Structure 1
Amino acid sequence: MADPSTYRPATGAIPTDPGVYKFRDAHRRVIYVGKAKNLRSRLTSYFADITGLHPRTRQMVTTAASVEWTVVGTEVEALQLEYNWIKEFDPRFNVRYRDDKTYPMLAVTLNETYPRVFVYRGARKPGVRYFGPYAHAWAIRETVDLLTRVFPIRTCSTGVFRRNEQMGRPCLLGYIDKCSAPCVGRVDADEHRAIVDDFCDFLAGKTDGLIRRLEREMTSAAEELDFERAARLRDDTSALRRAMEKQAVVLGSGTDADVIAMVGDELESSVTIFHVRDGRVRGERGWVVEVQENATLAEQVESFLTQFYGAESDMSSGIPREVLVPALPDDVDQMQDWLTQRRGARVDIRVPQRGDKRNLMTTVERNASDALARHKLQRAGDLTTRSAALTELQEHLGLDVAPLRIECIDISHVQGTDVVASLVVFEDGLPRKSDYRHYGIKEAAGDGRSDDVASIAEVTRRRFLRHRGGEATPPPVDGDEPVAIAAGEVSAEEGKKRRFAYPPNLFVVDGGAPQVHAAAAVLEELGVTDVAIIGLAKRLEEVWVPGDDEPVILPRNSEALFLLQRVRDEAHRFAITFHRSKRSKRMTASALDGIPGLGATRRTALLTHFGSVANLKKATVDEISQVPGIGATTAQSVRDALSADESTREDVTSG
């Protein structure tokens, strides 16, 4: 591990101009590439107090053995050079948006005398026009099969074309009129080029003009009593309409945009992009990548735009007029100028706020979220991955055995009110929902604020109360609620005493050093020595072990950290769900309690009729009195009580 001070350049020697810098390791391999408006300001930040750096940045500067930079004239040049270097050197500490699969595109070889259309995967080449990418190759082939009926463009390879040209006989597609057969001279190069142009225009969104032209030709043929040609044109028009129906219209006609959404957590981010051309979704792509350092959403967007639109040698036809993103890059003006240069026309980058574009962004975000969930489920469902995670946990934490049973607790409240805790259980890396627990926590006296450390200690004590004597954990008491497997609610076996089968190998606390020390003190007090305990701090995903002054930093791409994060997030979700339910019940009860003449039966009737207290507050006295069992006097009492409650809330808010 290198000491950054050994290769730190003199501050005065670093220029203040924009530029791009490279960190190299002891073997002169480039391990990180970055750009900066001010090289001096950016580079000196890497050589500040090393303990204050993000763990990933700290690992990078201690792995590096030298740093060098290149000054450029503008920030746009820095953007381009940064991408070129990332592509050339593939630095290990830079995030790369790589596909786990290649996406098919529809390619048209305009650089040939007789252009052909085919399904293609790989890098774009000059002289070839591309449409897509598409999610599935079969979708392209189905579209081509429909369109070659109307636009009989060549689809055969060069070898097949030359063989049929020598034989003087067309292939099967030529006989069934799905190819204009330029190989045998049915059409010359200019006529075939015109067919190709119409084919490209249709895929580019210029559909209305082509359909109107075919309809005019069909009408003209019918008037000339050429019914066979009119029928063929009718079928061609129907084929074009079917092809158009396969592309959903999402925006107004003429809209060309790429819609990009990013959804993620502290470790991974899911990126999904929809390609919209002429208002229709022409293709989509997706990635799940590791989040770089503590990068903001704006920085992630900038990194993605740089790599995605700089990835191909010829992207002029692939860059739309508008790029819709979840957050604007910090250097949005320079990014727009760079994309404009590559496209040869103006490109705007903006965040959609309302209307159809905002709705489409929501759809793309939903797809990105689903992709991230599928990715995590795939990892969690893989037996080999789960085994690796448990083994890594055993090694990093120095456990005697792999933690086959992991329990995690989390506290949830709002400014000290409705304090609850959750306990979730994972066995063999999978959730065991039948053993989930809810805990009700007594609120702190005095100022009403909750003490998370004390709550952690209380829940830990209640969980391990009888573990000291070697007995199983006692049944739920005083607010401990067992949970049904499917619904996540109180078990149907409420009256039965339920016990945990055995204690955990690893007990996880959501929090840092104070929380884990409080839980460890309780275990020591109870004499529990066979349960390992750790805390997982959310900000930097640090693992705290009792008695250690420094946290354990697990590799960000390790399966062990992924499993711990999943356990912690499940405990947080479970606690939040119970907290909301408890708070909702309290607010409902407090709003209708104490109203003269309103007992439990009438309260239930009111809530059943109106659906919620919020709807009841909007009702008039006449509307309330229409509820069976509610008279005019009681309705007036309800109306007065709810109005007084609303006035009290407004006074508290204004105060």
Structure 2
Amino acid sequence: MADPSSYRPRAGEIPTGPGVYRFRDQHGRVIYVGKAKNLRARLNSYFANPAALLAKTHAMVHTAASVEWTVVGSELEALQLEYTWIKEFAPRFNIVFRDDKSYPYLAVTLGEKFPRAQVMRGDRRKDVKYFGPFYPARAIRETLDTLLRVFPVRTCSAGVLRRAQQSGRPCLLGYIDKCSAPCVGRISPEDHRKLADELCQFMGGEGTRFIRQLEREMAEAVAELEYEKAARLRDDIAALRRVFERNAVVLAEDTEADIFAVAEDDLEAAVQVFHVRNGRIRGQRGWVVDKVEDTTPGEFVEHMLQQVYGENADSDRLPREVLVPVEPENAEQVAAWLRGLRGAAVSLRVPRRGEKAALMGTVKDNAEQALRLHKSRRAGDISTRSSALQELQEALGLPVPLLRIECYDISHVQGTNVVASMVVVEDGLPKKSDYRKFAVTGDAARDDTSAMYDVISRRFRRYLEDQTQVAPAISGQVDISDESAKAAPRKFAYPPSLVVVDGGPPQVAAAVKALEDLGIDDIYVVGLAKRLEELWLPDDEFPVVLPRASHGLYLLQRIRDEAHRFAISFHRQKRSSSMTVSILDDVPGLGPAKRQAVLKHFGSLKRMRAAAEEDFLAVSGIGPAMARQLVAALAPGPSGEAGDDGAEPAVNTATGELLD
């Protein structure tokens, strides 16, 4: 651990204006980002008496090797720059609201010939009408399934629609009357668009009008003794009312607000938000985050709003009101930032009385329950993970804590399509953004040890190259326009504490030889052999055998199995790709562009084999002679050749890329 006095800047060097600062570790990785109205006062507080700092801040300043700062013109600029850097670097000592999914919305693609209703996430697209957000996604899927009874608009993908048009048969939803089947001409494009418009109107708050209209039609059907039609309308009315029941009115119908509440202790905080649109709760969302930095409640709320709305910077997704449990630090600047994102006024306030304050209490109850549930589930996980890493470090006799572990596995079938995988675990948890896969060719593919030597050499050669990008650990002011200061070091620049290879002494020796040839002597290697699950260290005659109930052994097994899964999936993808491409390569006159068009049109070998000559003529650029050659090339032989190994390689119809 570094001594903070070794990189402490002189007090006179630090400006007194507003700005943003970054602490970096010895490898140049940003580990903390903060902002301050007075940079000198804030940074001096980290170095004045490090022993008196709280535990997490103490750990941060002793992990860092340098600090740098950037002066900005105002507190609003500091707020924006701080959010940008937290999003870019994901510092480990910042509170980060990590979530693997974006908000789910009900989307209607009005820009298509046959508009499609679907649950959509991610960036907003042109000519698409959005409703929501809804959370969890199951709620909107159930709502959409119910609405299809009354508004049977298309929900299928472009590929399903195209196949239905070619075959003249609708999909299952068309047969059960949950789709009006525009693909086969059961409804005209104009009438189908009218259905989509009515669905949008219903979701836009005009549900009462549709229910009353259906009630009038039901009464007319009863008066004319059309009881079957009346029963069908009765069921439609019940379906629409069920949708309304799921979205009960809790506030005035013109209310658009996001209501946040926080429950916290010394270590973690649970955040809950209710999304209220048109007076109804359209969705609920929650996070539980580690409090890895010391913040006041106001600072916590500020960071929360930065990340929640910064990830979804879209004027339609920001409501008119944002209700929070406490006023954030720099409330005026935060409100101005939100106003800039929305393009209109945003009311940021704390509700004190009335219906909104009562609903805030409900959100608070949800946050407290979420924190209690999280504590009960994770209490064992955190302690188990920590004990596993410590047990493994002691068993292997390593002098450094196992903050980052990389595991490598080789996959092939009798020496063909040799690939390797690299999976990464940090603090005992997978870091999938750092996973890598390698294709092994040439002499390196002749056996497992040669492949392991090749892969380790390539990975750590990149490590040495990327090390040149890491700025020296010198504290001081940085220019925001300096690209070298802004750029993050590449992920290969971060070395592991331990390299795990799948195998015994030969694989371990190959990995060690690769590191030695590169001049690297401070990275430790261990092999995990499948036979007895023993651990092999370099140059040791006997393995380390951990107890079967060992948490450390279980952690290594999970890492090894993840590396094996990742390698196998890549190997299957390469095998399927080479098999399919080799079949089409044998067709004279079929160049890369036409081959790509055929793959994109049919999607898989199974559909290509089942296709007749006239089906191939529908592909752009394929004539009668080429169609005959394709049918002949794809026809299976007497033993089921034509690349059939029992698995059908699928093709991404949007890109023509083969998928596993």
RMSD, aligned CA: 3.4
1:141 matched to 2:141? The reply is yes
* CA 326–196 in structure 1, closer or farther in 2 if over 3 Å, else same: same
Displacement after TM superposition at 1:216 (Å): 5.8
Displacement after TM superposition at 1:375 (Å): 1.4
Given that 1:104 and 1:135 are in contact with CA atoms closer than 8 Å, whether structure 2 keeps it comes out as yes
* CA 387–23 in structure 1, closer or farther in 2 if over 3 Å, else same: closer
- What's 1:326 paired with? 325
- What one-letter code is carried by the residue in structure 2 that aligns with 1:350? R
Displacement after TM superposition at 1:261 (Å): 0.9
Q: In structure 1, list runs of 5 or more residues that go unmatched.
A: 396-558, 560-655
Given that 1:202 and 1:210 are in contact with CA atoms closer than 8 Å, whether structure 2 keeps it comes out as yes
State how far apart, in whole Å, the 2-side matches of 1:20 and 1:135 are: 34
Aligned counterparts, 1:138-177, within 5 A = 138-177=138-177
Given that 1:380 and 1:386 are in contact with CA atoms closer than 8 Å, whether structure 2 keeps it comes out as no
Report the more deviating stretch, 94-103 or 136-145.
Answer: 94-103
* CA 222–94 in structure 1, closer or farther in 2 if over 3 Å, else same: same
* CA 385–174 in structure 1, closer or farther in 2 if over 3 Å, else same: same
State how far apart, in whole Å, the 1-side matches of 2:381 and 2:339 are: 45
C-alpha deviations, 1:478-527, integer Å up to 9, x for none? Answer: xxxxxxxxxxxxxxxxxxxxxxxxxxxxxxxxxxxxxxxxxxxxxxxxxx
* CA 243–335 in structure 1, closer or farther in 2 if over 3 Å, else same: same
State how far apart, in whole Å, the 1-side matches of 2:214 and 2:185 are: 25
Describe the SS at the equivalent of 1:81.
helix
* CA 46–382 in structure 1, closer or farther in 2 if over 3 Å, else same: closer
- What one-letter code is carried by the residue in structure 2 that aligns with 1:333? E
Displacement after TM superposition at 1:262 (Å): 0.6
1:249 matched to 2:233? The reply is no
Aligned counterparts, 1:264-279, within 5 A = 264-279=264-279
C-alpha deviations, 1:230-284, integer Å up to 9, x for none? Answer: 6655543332112101223222222111111111111111111111111211111
Q: Which has the larger radius of gyration?
A: 1
Describe the SS at the equivalent of 1:23.
strand
C-alpha deviations, 1:569-611, integer Å up to 9, x for none? Answer: xxxxxxxxxxxxxxxxxxxxxxxxxxxxxxxxxxxxxxxxxxx
Given that 2:56 and 2:293 are in contact with CA atoms closer than 8 Å, whether structure 1 keeps it comes out as yes
- What one-letter code is carried by the residue in structure 1 that aligns with 2:59? Q
* CA 28–295 in structure 1, closer or farther in 2 if over 3 Å, else same: same
C-alpha deviations, 1:5-52, integer Å up to 9, x for none? Answer: 443344444444433222212211111112233334333333322233
Displacement after TM superposition at 1:215 (Å): 4.8
- What one-letter code is carried by the residue in structure 2 that aligns with 1:200? C
State how far apart, in whole Å, the 1-side matches of 2:87 and 2:38 are: 23
Paired residue total: 392
Describe the SS at the equivalent of 2:95.
coil
Aligned counterparts, 1:249-648, within 5 A = 249-312=249-312, 314-380=313-379, 385=384, 388=387
* CA 101–211 in structure 1, closer or farther in 2 if over 3 Å, else same: same
- What's 1:479 paired with? none
Describe the SS at the equivalent of 2:33.
strand
* CA 35–208 in structure 1, closer or farther in 2 if over 3 Å, else same: farther
Describe the SS at the equivalent of 1:370.
helix
State how far apart, in whole Å, the 2-side matches of 1:21 and 1:226 are: 74
Given that 1:379 and 1:385 are in contact with CA atoms closer than 8 Å, whether structure 2 keeps it comes out as no
State how far apart, in whole Å, the 2-side matches of 1:384 and 1:13 are: 43
Displacement after TM superposition at 1:54 (Å): 2.5
Q: Compute the TM-score of the two structures, normalised by the length of structure 2.
A: 0.53
State how far apart, in whole Å, the 1-side matches of 2:324 and 2:376 are: 27
Displacement after TM superposition at 1:378 (Å): 1.7
Displacement after TM superposition at 1:159 (Å): 0.8
Report the more deviating stretch, 300-309 or 228-237.
Answer: 228-237
- What's 1:32 paired with? 32
State how far apart, in whole Å, the 1-side matches of 2:217 and 2:72 are: 58
1:21 matched to 2:21? The reply is yes
- What's 2:60 paired with? 60
Given that 1:133 and 1:285 are in contact with CA atoms closer than 8 Å, whether structure 2 keeps it comes out as no
* CA 115–82 in structure 1, closer or farther in 2 if over 3 Å, else same: farther
Displacement after TM superposition at 1:93 (Å): 0.8
- What one-letter code is carried by the residue in structure 1 that aligns with 2:281? V
- What one-letter code is carried by the residue in structure 2 that aligns with 1:364? V
* CA 111–27 in structure 1, closer or farther in 2 if over 3 Å, else same: farther
1:87 matched to 2:51? The reply is no
- What's 2:70 paired with? 70
State how far apart, in whole Å, the 1-side matches of 2:101 and 2:374 are: 14
Displacement after TM superposition at 1:126 (Å): 3.1
C-alpha deviations, 1:617-654, integer Å up to 9, x for none? Answer: xxxxxxxxxxxxxxxxxxxxxxxxxxxxxxxxxxxxxx
Given that 2:102 and 2:122 are in contact with CA atoms closer than 8 Å, whether structure 1 keeps it comes out as no
State how far apart, in whole Å, the 2-side matches of 1:89 and 1:193 are: 45
1:51 matched to 2:56? The reply is no
